[in-house]
Amino acid sequence: MTYKNIVVVLAILFSLVVKGQEKDKNLPEGNEAFNEKNYADAETNYRISASKFPKKADSYYNLGNTIYTINQPAEAKFAYQNAIKNATTRAEKHKAFHNLGNVLMKEKNYEGAVNIYRQALINNPSDDETRYNYALAKKMLKENPPKDEKKNDKEKDEKKEQDKKEKEDKKDGDKDKKDNKGDKDKDKKDEGKNEKDDKGDGKKPKEGQISQQRIQNLLDAVNNDEKRVQEKVNAQKVKGKPVETDKDW
């Protein structure tokens, strides 16, 4: 797109509305100041006119053009909105909608610009400049979707990735669970086998083990030795026992 085309697209419809009530002297004075590029005086007169006749669309529309010209599009937006609100003819609505669409384009609010240019075309379908701006706004909107849509797309991608990860983790968990179960069954089987070996089954003991009969024989021998020792100690006590007498002192 050439620079010339861009200028055409963003051009404001600067045709000022001259009509007004006889008592409203500020509106024509504002128009005169605007044509002389004395925008400060033009803005002042349009504001006075709008304050005295708040239901008139002319003052707000001309005020919006003046403010836009001095590069204050955000404030001009409210003036155009008031002009649309108070407009009584399709021609007034078309111009206000068109210029409001240009403000939104400058703010890069392409979605809003598409809707506003559509309203302008509804009120004047034959305006080529509005139709061109409308097509450009749709193109820019397609290339620059609203942030909310980008955010939603990002959230969808993140959720999809998270679901995929959870699915893989679940699959790995089921595999580990199966492996652990197999290990537990094996451990349980080995444990039962060991318990059986410890308990014994009456068979010949393995090498290095002492049979129950052998243990019992050893215990009996110890008891017999202890009995013999005790008998010997008792005999010594009887032999060395002192003789008791009944001697008085």
Q: Is 165 inside a domain boundary?
A: no
pLDDT at 153: 59
pLDDT at 87: 95
pLDDT at 219: 73
pLDDT at 32: 96
pLDDT at 176: 60
pLDDT at 168: 75
Domains: count for the chain? 1
| CATH number of the structural domain spanning residue 30 | 1.25.40.10
Q: Is 135 inside a domain boundary?
A: yes
Q: SS in 3 state form for 41-88?
A: HHHHHHHHHHHHCCCCHHHHHHHHHHHHHCCCHHHHHHHHHHHHHHCC
Q: Is 42 inside a domain boundary?
A: yes
pLDDT at 166: 75
Q: Is 37 inside a domain boundary?
A: yes
Q: Is 220 inside a domain boundary?
A: no
pLDDT at 249: 31
pLDDT along the chain (249 residues), means of 10: 53 60 84 96 96 93 95 93 96 96 95 97 96 96 81 67 74 63 59 51 55 73 66 56 38
Domain that holds residue 133: 3-147
pLDDT at 103: 96
Q: Is 27 inside a domain boundary?
A: yes
pLDDT at 200: 47
Q: Is 187 inside a domain boundary?
A: no
Reported pTM: 0.55
Q: Is 245 inside a domain boundary?
A: no
